[in-house]
Amino acid sequence: MPNYYRSGLGAVGSYQVSGVPWITGSDAGLASGAEDKISFPTVTKAVTVINTSANDIHVHFNSKTGTHVSGGLHYVALNSANDTFTFAIKCKEIYISSPSWGGGAASYTVMAELTGISVNEMFALTGSGLTDP
């Protein structure tokens, strides 16, 4: 039986082509100390997060609950309005939190380039630099 090419985590072509656009956000709905989970419909090629408020937000790959995300500084801080960061990464979800000392409700926009790879193929992002102390 012949082998057929298909998209997958190790298929380079899935990351070489332009990604399918996907956008969501929060309009001052992220309370101080709260966390939002953003789940993507397929595995990403890249993710851009924009802080659309004057209050701090943190972007991370695991929930703060029960992990060392905050204490281990396993996040990217966007500290002012229009701060932005682009991750050229494959993932199925990200978390955005507003630190309790952040000064109030925060808002953000998330833009992603999606691949054709099912989220069921994506492994958990854990370990050194993500969840470990």
Band of pLDDT at residue 49, cut at 50, 70 and 90: very high
What's the pLDDT tens digit per position in 53-80? 999 999 999 999 888 998 999 999 999 9
Q: CA-CA distance, 104 to 54, in Å (whole number)?
A: 9
Domain ranges of the chain: 23-118
Q: CA-CA distance, 12 to 16, in Å (whole number)?
A: 6
What's the pLDDT tens digit per position in 10-41? 888 888 888 999 999 998 789 999 999 999 99
Q: Which CATH number fits domain 23-118: 2.60.120, 1.10.10, 3.30.450, 2.40.10?
A: 2.60.120
What pLDDT, on a 0 to 100 scale, did the predictor assign at position 1?
57
Distances (CA, A) of 57 to 7, 9, 13, 100, 117: 33, 29, 33, 10, 29
Q: CA-CA distance, 97 to 74, in Å (whole number)?
A: 12
Band of pLDDT at residue 109, cut at 50, 70 and 90: very high
